[in-house]
Every structure is written in C-alpha cells, then in structure tokens.
Structure 1
C-alpha cells in the first residue's frame, strides 16, 4: 500500500534535519499536492504549482485511457495538426476580441495583470507560427502532391499492364488511359 504524500518541508527548529509529516496540501484547497498550509502550501505560487501538478495527473490518466495508434502518414497528420492549431488560434482571438477594453485587470495590491485569454491567444499564435513554419520548411504540400502523383502513376501503370495482358492496345488503350486520367484528376480535386 502506498503512503499518502507528506508535506516534506524542513522544520524550522535549529540544526534540525526533520521534515514536516503533515499531509501534503493539508489546510489548502489542493489536498495531496505540495506543502501543507503551515509551510506555504496556500501561497499563490504553490496554488499554481498544485494546479499544474493536478492537471498533469489528469492528462496522464486520460492518455493512459486513450487507444493511441501510430501515425502512418506524418505529412497528412502534420497538415491536420496545422488546421487544429489555426482553428484554436482563431477561437482564442474571438475570446480576446470579446474582452474589449478589459484586457487587463487589477490584481492584489493594485498590481495589473493580463487576462488569461490574452495569454492563451499569444500562445496560440506562437504555436500556429511554429507548426506553419515547419510545414513551409518541410514543403509538406509539395511532398503530398508528389505522393499523390506517384500513386496515380502506379495505378496508371497497373491499368496499362492489365490492358496489355488482355490484348487491348493502340487507340483503345490510349482512350482508356485518358478516361482514367480525367477520373483521377476529378477525384483528386
């Protein structure tokens, strides 16, 4: 059986090598995480740290439950990620636009702070820049187009080999290849 987490802060007694044995988060809104109330567990920094630890634990639980499959086509997956990142950036931009003049708010002791929506928007812009720069640097669109062209060429070669195997040559074979080429272009957009 695992023992409940302890505060672990060093006690104030001189020359003491003793550590607080109270439960982690005792007397705070985040039990089981960080220091106890007597050792700064309820300060702003500790609250933020506790919230991050709690969120990390929740993400780990969700990830453990996911049925993760390997990415077979990383180029397409990166393009899809770019779409999601840009959509997230637009969503956070809408949140910031709704704020109007309330981009900042007064904190403790008159300290002015940026609203969380503005910080989320800034992060979304940075992430969009990173993903889109990666796509541009890797020439994802060009690579995807070349892959599709290779697939179409393989398909056309297979059809040509099939036509030759059953004895269709000349004008009839050319006509079949033209029809296939039109259909492939229509399907690929």
Structure 2
C-alpha cells in the first residue's frame, strides 16, 4: 500500500469492527525502512525481514532492467552457451567462498539449533543450476548444432565467392586457388 508516493505498512489493525490499516511508513522501526511491515506489525520477525530483503532485491533488479536496452535473442544456441559459461563461473565463485569458510559450515542459530551457512545453500543451488544448464546443452546437442551452423555459413560464403569469381570471369585454376586460400583462412578463423 502507498500513501501518496510513500509506501505504508498496510497491515490490518486489531481494532474490532474496523477495516483500518496501519498507516505507518513501511518498515518503520526495522532494519528495512521503506519496505514491508512496520515494527508494530511483525516487521522485525525473521520471515518479514527475509521477505523485505527479497522485495528490496527485486526492486533493485527491476530498476537495473529498466535501464538496460534489452534486445531479443537472435541466436538462442549461442545465448544458451553463454549462459552455461556464466552459470559455471558462478558455481566456481561460490565454491571458492565455501572453501574459505572451512570448518564453519554449520553454526548455532538463535534458537540453539544447528544450521547450515547460507553460502552452502547457495553452492548447492549453483551446482543444481549448472547441472540443469549443462544437461540441457548436452541433450540439445548445442555444440553440434553450432558447428553445423558455422559450416553452413562457411559453405554459403564459399558459394558466394565462387559466384562472384564466375561473374567477373575468373575460372579454372585461379578460381580453385582462391577457394583453397579462403578455405584455409576460414579454418584458421574457426580454430
């Protein structure tokens, strides 16, 4: 809820026969001012703190996305291969963080229960996502498809050059030499 342009808590008050809602500023008295419930309506509970953190992160992501010039994906195979690289890099970065915490994988929570550190959960999710993306690439034969696309592009380029040479009257041994040089250059670029 908002009052004017400032978000408010919006929790329903306990007054009987009243449809009143809390008008305090969202997150008032908490470590997440401007977001979520106020201190008087559970804003300091762990669940509300986490929910507010998610809302703040989502708001920041939406702001960044609004500033980006998002273009449609013209080549989904290459985009998926790039995503795989990012996912693997993320998984490796989280692995380094988990390796640094060493024996501190578990700790005592406020209630005395043993808990896993958040970094371990991040690492597990990163491994799952890496597996999902790499499995998708393997299942779809992305490398094979990309190779076939590049081969087709090279063949089209060779055909265009051959047609151009024929149009200007270059045939025979000269045309064969040009095709050989082009083939070597294309293989060098592909490598």
User: With structure 2 as the length reference, what TM-score do the two structures score?
Assistant: 0.91
1:120 maps to which residue?
A: 122
* In 2: Cα distance, 1:164 partner to 1:22 partner: 80
Number of the residue aligned with 1:69: 71
For these two proteins, the number of residue pairs brought into alignment is 189
* 1:139-178 to 2 correspondences below 5 Å: 139-178=141-180
Tell me, what secondary structure is at the counterpart of 2:69? coil
Partner of 2:182: 180
Counterpart CA distance in 2 for 1:165 and 1:10 is 81
C-alpha RMSD over aligned residues? 1.7
**Rounded Cα–Cα distance in structure 1 between residues aligned with 2:162 and 2:15:** 88
SS of aligned partner of 1:109 = coil
Q: Which residue of 2 aligns with 1:83?
A: 85
Q: Residue 41 of structure 1 corresponds to which residue in structure 2?
A: 43
CA distance in 1 between partners of 2:14 and 2:153 (Å): 72
Structure 2 residue 31 is the aligned partner of structure 1 residue 29:
yes
Q: Structure 1 runs of 4+ off > 6 angstroms?
A: none
* TM-score (structure 1 length as normaliser): 0.92
CA deviation profile, 1:125-157 (whole Å, cap 9, x unmatched): 111112111211221111111111111111111
